[in-house]
Structure 1
Amino acid sequence: MAAPAPVREKPAESMPAGAPGPSRRIGAGLLDPQQLWLALPAALLKLNPVTLARNPVMFVTEIGAALTTGLAIAHASLFGWLITAWLWLTVVFANLAEAVAESRGRAQADTLRGMRRQTVARRLVGWQPGAGSGSYIEESVGAGELRRDDLVVVEAGELVPGDGDVIEGVASIDESAITGESAPVIREAGGDRSAVTGGTRVLSDRIVVRVTQEPGASFLDRMISLVEGANRQKTPNELALNLLLVMMTFVFLVAVLTLQPMAIFSKAFMAAAPDSQALTADGVTGIVLVSLLVCLIPTTIGGLLSAIGIAGMDRLVQRNVLAMSGRAVEAAGDVNTLLLDKTGTITYGNRRASDLLTVDSVTGRRLADAAALSSLADETPEGRSIVAYVRDKFGLEATVPGDAAWVPFSATTRMSGVDLAADASRADGGARRLRKGAASAVAAWVQENGGTVPAALDVCVKQVSASGGTPLAVAEQPADGPARVLGVVHLKDVVKPGLRERFAELRRMGIRTVMVTGDNPVTAKAIADEAGVDDFLAEATPEDKLALIKKEQAGGHLVAMTGDGTNDAPALAQADVGVAMNTGTSAAKEAGNMVDLDSDPTKIIDIVEIGKQLLITRGALTAFSIANDIAKYFAILPAMFGGVYPALDAINIMRLHSPTSAILSAVIFNAVIIAVLIPLALRGVRYRPSSADSLLTRNLWIYGMGGLILPFLAIKFIDVAVVQFIPGI
């Protein structure tokens, strides 16, 4: 038998990264200024009162703008026309925020529409698994005619006509238009990678697909609706905030209407006050009251609220996550228990070599050489990892001539290896046999071949097992001597780098992480400790997952989890945030309320952070909106009634030029601040993982105090500019 080629030295290579890196802050894409211009026509169309009635705050503002327009026409004045122009701009800027948010997904929607073109489907009638070609009928129909449970056949080069599950065959499929990934994916009957999406292209082989979609409700249809923001339903928190804004608007509306008698009274008594005569001129009183109403009601958050919700969904789309509803995104922000499957989420999913333990006087290099040579023909992930570990750790590159006798792994022997012939070029050039496998099987092989099993083997095996790893023994038999044990390879589930830091961030956010695995408790605990999760559920069955979710929810917690198999469907449906993998079954995707197009289970951590960013953005801008109204009170109220009630002069801290310039400056600021905040509403307030108390404190200081101080400075600046450029105002 030919001898193996010599083992060559090779520089060590680092293990490729395949997991999320260190924690990062969650933000969003920047706003292209050109988007504002492109979205302007859509913003103008939204001036339709029927459309604007969905936003009560801006609807009242539009009515006010219409009233001031009529008053400005009936009683023409520069002041009246300026107020009217800025009130209309207030409504347009609010519509522009929503229009820009909706337009950001149009490019992707157009791409998806291109995929949704009508394709011809080859529907099978009377087909049964394994049936011959003469036992069923194949008919050509339009993809739009397909119904749930129809069977279609798709071959290489053809488009999948609708969403479904592969029930026969295996094929390579191009899903790049859906996921953005150019690499094809494999879909096959059975298992958890059987789902296919309508509009994707089969690259090889032939599959039979059972259609799972209803007409007009395909995966692409839902994606298009999502990315455009069409038919978006408001979330519970958004509805609650809308109700609050409506009530505040109603209260201020009633308050302003009751000022009309006071305005008439004031007109009689303010005639002697030169600074106030402009406010009592014909038609101006109505304009002033409308201005007061618009500045009192929370127009800032009212104009941005819808854009914030749409932008939150858009941030998920940017990360290739399809949310079935805004409620799911919002719920993600309130999650406080996160269930994570061990395999593929916390660990790489395949056991990898992590250490070599020698016995007796065997050197580490000798064990490494034997372990690598005996694994060269092992195409399992474990076998390849041993070869890579030896190369990286010891700088050894093992090659074996083609006439070596390979011993494949079998369930009977529970070993694999290689038989090598003598090689005179090697220091240890005699023929030898190498075996690698389960410790008990290798020990039996050593005894059968005249060797003895050292007690150190049992020590090494117990050491590896106690740490949650899998021990593989390595043995060698020279041609002229008994077999001997060289040592043990420590295989372990390798925890993805950076996860411990991510879990620590989640803990600071008040989120409890639970690892779910089918491993035994010893292995589960070892991995849980290494990953840094808060708890684990070992030997978990689908029923155990469901029971755990119900238990957490009964304790008042919101639960998020990931899954891809049919057996995950009950738990995904029960969870408040259920993220199904796109590679998974249709049952899993239908049960969850989100679908990850990249099928990256760790993305659930990002989803939770995006949900929290949505809630924080909404809360921060609400605080800013309410706070900046206070400054407008200080600008308008003294200007309107200071002549009648001199005591109001005490709150006239801005000392604006005149009553008319004060009111105009407040109205201008009210409009401009909406436009200024559009990028922030779309990008979202930058999220930093921390406790709820610290987040609240930070946002109150930044957005509460900022909303209180900024308007004083801005309104004063606008007043100076107005007086400078519009003399006599």
Structure 2
Amino acid sequence: MTQITLDTSRGDPREGGRASPLAGGLSGAMIGRAVGDAFVKLNPVKLIKNPVIFTTWIVALLSTISAAAAIAGGQSAGFAVQLALWLWATVLFANVAESIAEGRGKAAADSLRATRVTTKAKLIVDPKTGTVVPTNASELEVGSIILVEAGDVIASDGEIIEGVASVNEAAITGESAPVIRESGGDRSAVTGGTTVVSDWIKVRITAKPGSTFLDRMIAMVEGADRRKTPNELALAVLLAGLTLIFLIAVVTLVGLGAYSGVDLDPIVLGALFITLIPTTIGGLMSAVGIAGMDRLLKVNVLATSGRAVEAAGDVDTLLLDKTGTITFGNRMATEVIPVPGVRPEAALAAAVMASLADETPEGRSIVELGRNAGVSVDQPAGAVAIPFTAVTRQSGLDVGKDSWRKGAVDAVLKDLNLTDGSAPAEFRQAVDRIARSGGTPLAVTQNGALVGVIHLKDVVKPGVKARFADLRRMGLRTVMITGDNPVTAAAIASEAGVDDYLAEATPEDKMRLIKAEQAKGRLVAMCGDGANDAPALAQADVGVAMQTGAQAAREAGNMVDLDSDPTKVIEIVEVGKQLLITRGALTTFSVANDVAKYFAIIPAMFVVALPSLGALNVMRLHSPESAILSAVIFNALVIVALIPLALKGVKYRAIGAGALLGRNLLIYGLGGLIAPFVGIKLIDLVISGLGLA
């Protein structure tokens, strides 16, 4: 493992049963709406964006006209009517797949709309006297300052300029537990529609009416103007190319029919053409992309576009802040090392006594360490807390004539009139070992005597190392970014299992690192929450902003994590890769499917005129008409059968590209070859048995 150096001279388990407004799901009402939307999507202006399905629409229309003409002429039209109906069904099923995927987003948008309220804001008209005037939220302007007290709904998006309060953000995140918001720092942004639970805050409005974060969420969740991603565009070109190839193949059959004496009905040729072109992936392509965004919504991540989700799947380098992402963010006590002559349990008890009045996370972790070891953690009667100050750099507890202190090693030694040389050798060795491991040593005294040293450690989150190993197997390079010194950074990076680290990082360093990675042709993902992260979030290919972060960060990123959990970036990459894997699997299945259908149907159509094709007619279909109708029916039904896979996605596994290709070819390639032979034969038996062809 190496530290990155920069040239500066050029200077599922997350849901936890919550009722998140973004949690999608299928219901009878949603499916009903999807079916209705599918008929609306029959509009050729909408379908022309999908060339394969638009081609199917044209052939269905021509088949309908042909069937109507046959009926009007008193001719037998049963076969023509069946072809037309199943071709229309193919178009509808493709539309249903897209509509179901969109329906989840629309349901989530409806849920979000239900959270919007029309409320009165307490507009501060005179900052000196604090005079407030009730004002409609729609009348607030950018820069207006409002007072929000306990029980009030925050009228619009803004930044806290004064005060601290607990805020219920369930309307946005689905999480009922209030969170702390305060002026200054990276926890000052508040969202309109959330409720202040306790205390009060003054908020400067940052959004115009109708353009709040909630409004933007609704627009993005609905995805009405969702643009195709680069991969979708490339796939559309591939499908158009395959369509052209099969068009040429079908046209050549006209000559073969003339040569063999087989009279081929143009409508039959059109139906054959539809069965051969890649309608499966053509019908499901859009649904796969929309479903990828929906899977992010389920874990409370809002993507501004399908392009961002897809980019997450192609990410090569993952930048993660150490604090709160790789580690818990608060230093935690892991051990108390006694000096010679002091029993370990006595040193631990002294550390606990010195921490009983310490309400910091570090102090609470020391008390918890003692509680787990069986040490009493009850504060004695008459105890006097000694708070930490910048002068003493110590804190503790006095009970009568007894005293306990803990603090910075140099400050404690100075208070005891000890030097590094006069302190016990074992004590110095313990301090040095803790520092070299990336921890923080705190000296502990009892009644003016040194008793031991506490090891505070920035604890790496459980399971993170295994997840990084999974990402490494997928070809991702992980980089930890921290403001720690190189020694501490190296120790934590080694324990976490990241590939590289950047120590003592500044915002400029982050930006240079991202540009350096991109210059090597890599796609970069990072997360951040501060205004100083905004440039890097904007530069990264996938920028994940925390919902609780600064407004500048939320606007710079192309994703917003509503839970403000930095570790979510790992899950985002997994969702992106799942989207790409799913699209690749369905494409493999569709292409193999089309090849199989070609060799299954053509021999049945010409075997009578060309007996030499009998060796290829392995399916022994009932008749040429039965072969075509069976293929058209199979073509329509296979789209329905694959809708759940398109919505759920192929299961993500951290395997290499070679293994992934092999799995796709084995499961979806081979499956795509076999399925048409089995499916068409079964349908042929049914329709021939019923006398439909």
* Cα contact 2:605–2:627 (8 A) shared by 1: no
Residue 105 of structure 1 pairs with residue 70 of structure 2 = no
Distance 1:163 1:202 in 2: 13
Contact 1:174 1:182 in 2 (8 A): yes
Partner residue of 1:579?
Answer: 544
Q: Which residue identity is paired with 2:553? A: A
**TM-score (structure 2 length as normaliser):** 0.92
The residue matched to 2:148 in structure 1 has which SS? strand
TM-score scaled by length of structure 1: 0.87
**Number of the residue aligned with 2:218:** 224
* Structure 1 vs Structure 2 CA RMSD: 2.4
Alignment length (residue pairs): 669
1:11 aligns with none
Of residues 352, 359, 379, the one that matches 1:372 is 352
Distance 1:252 1:400 in 2: 83
List gaps (5 residues or longer) in structure 1: 1-17, 22-27, 271-278, 422-430, 478-482
2:210 maps to 1:210: no
In structure 1, C-alpha distance between the alignment counterparts of 2:398 and 2:120, rounded to whole Å: 56
Asked if residue 52 in structure 1 is aligned to residue 47 in structure 2, the reply is yes
Question: 2:386 matched to 1:407?
Answer: yes
Question: Would the alpha carbon gap of residues 366 and 594 (structure 1) be closer, same or farther in structure 2, given more than 3 Å must change?
Answer: same
Higher relative contact order (CA closer than 8 Å, sequence separation 6+):
1
1:684: Cα distance to partner? 0.5
Is 1:499 the counterpart of 2:496 in the alignment?
Answer: no
Alignment-derived partner of residue 512 in structure 1: 477
Quote the Cα distance in structure 1 between the aligned partners of 2:31 and 2:601.
31
> Does the residue aligned with 1:104 lie in a helix, a strand or coil?
helix
User: Once the 2 structures are TM-superposed, how far is the Cα of residue 444 of structure 1 from its aligned partner?
Assistant: 2.2
Q: In structure 2, do the counterparts of structure 1 residues 151 and 260 end up closer, same or farther at CA, with 3 Å as the change threshold?
A: farther
1:240 aligns with 2:237: no
Q: Aligned to 1:609, which of 556, 562, 574?
A: 574
Q: For 2:335 and 2:178, how far apart are their aligned partners in 1?
A: 34
Worse-matched range after superposition: 666-675 or 230-239: 230-239
1:373-408: CA deviations, max 9, x gaps? 11101111111111101111x211232323123322
Q: Secondary structure at the match of 2:285?
A: helix
Whether the 8 Å CA contact 2:24–2:297 is kept in 1: the answer is no
Deviation at 1:432, TM superposition (A): 3.0
- Confirm or deny that 1:249 pairs with 2:243: yes
Name the counterpart of 2:309.
329
Letter in 1 for 2:112: L
Contact 1:357 1:487 in 2 (8 A): yes
How far apart are 1:437 and its partner, in Å?
A: 1.0
Q: Are the structure 2 counterparts of residues 153 and 417 from structure 1 closer, same or farther at C-alpha, using a change threshold of 3 Å? A: closer
Residue number among 128, 132, 136 corresponding to 1:131 in the alignment = 128
Deviations 1:51-97 (A, max 9, x none): 22222211111111111111112224221111111111111111110
Counterpart CA distance in 1 for 2:508 and 2:607 is 71
Tell whether the 8 Å contact from 1:166 to 1:189 is kept in structure 2 after alignment: yes
Q: Does the 8 Å CA contact 1:339/1:559 hold for their aligned counterparts?
A: yes
Percent of paired sites with the same residue: 60
After TM superposition, the structure 1 = structure 2 runs for residues 313-712 of structure 1, keeping only pairs within 5 Å, are 313-392=293-372, 394-421=373-400, 431-447=401-417, 453-477=423-447, 483-712=448-677
1:306 aligns with 2:286: yes
How many Å separate the matches in 2 of 1:536 and 1:159? 43
Residue 314 of structure 1 deviates from its aligned partner by: 0.3
1:700 Cα deviation from its structure 2 partner: 1.2
Deviation at 1:98, TM superposition (A): 0.8
Instruction: Please say if residues 163 and 201 of structure 2, whose CA atoms lie closer than 8 Å, have aligned partners that are also in contact.
Output: yes
C-alpha distance in 1, partners of 2:29/2:281? 23
Q: Aligned letter for 2:108?
A: Q
Using the TM superposition, give the Cα deviation of residue 624 of structure 1 relative to its aligned residue in structure 2, in angstroms.
Answer: 0.4
Partner amino acid, structure 2, of 1:54: K
Letter of the 1:401 counterpart: P
Show CA shifts across 1:230-276 (max 9, x none). Answer: 2211111111111222233234335545655665x369x23xxxxxx
Q: Which amino acid aligns with 1:702?
A: I
Q: Is the 8 A contact 2:300 2:562 kept in 1?
A: yes
Per the alignment, do residues 374 and 180 of structure 1 end up closer, same or farther by CA in structure 2, a change over 3 Å counting?
same
Q: Distance in 2 between matches of 1:414 and 1:408?
A: 9
Extract unaligned runs of 5+ from structure 2: 1-12, 17-22, 71-75
Q: 1:315 to 1:463 in 2, by over 3 A?
A: same
C-alpha spacing 1:324/1:38, structure 2 compared with 1 (3 Å): closer
* Distance in 1 (alpha carbons) for counterparts of 2:268 and 2:618: 20
**Maintained 8 Å contact 1:581/1:598:** yes
* C-alpha distance in 1 between matches for 2:561 and 2:46: 33
1:47 partner SS:
coil
Q: Which secondary structure does the structure 2 equivalent of 1:562 belong to?
A: strand
Larger C-alpha radius of gyration, 1 or 2?
1
In structure 1, distance between residues paired with 2:238 and 2:200: 57
SS of corresponding position for 1:374? helix
Letter paired with 1:706: G
AA aligned to 2:135 is: S
Q: By how many angstroms is 1:99 displaced?
A: 1.0
Say whether the 8 Å CA contact 1:123–1:141 is kept in structure 2: no
- Change in 2 beyond 3 A, CA 1:58/1:579: same
1:196 aligns with 2:196: no
- C-alpha contact (below 8 Å) 2:347/2:452 kept by paired residues: yes
Q: CA deviation at 1:220?
A: 1.8
> How far does residue 30 in structure 1 lie from its aligned partner after superposition?
7.5
User: Partner of 1:480 in structure 2?
Assistant: none
Task: Please give the per-residue CA displacement for 1:673-708, whole angstroms capped at 9, x wherever unaligned.
Answer: 000000110000111111111111111111011101
CA distance in 1, matches of 2:628, 2:460: 62
Q: CA deviation at 1:117?
A: 4.0
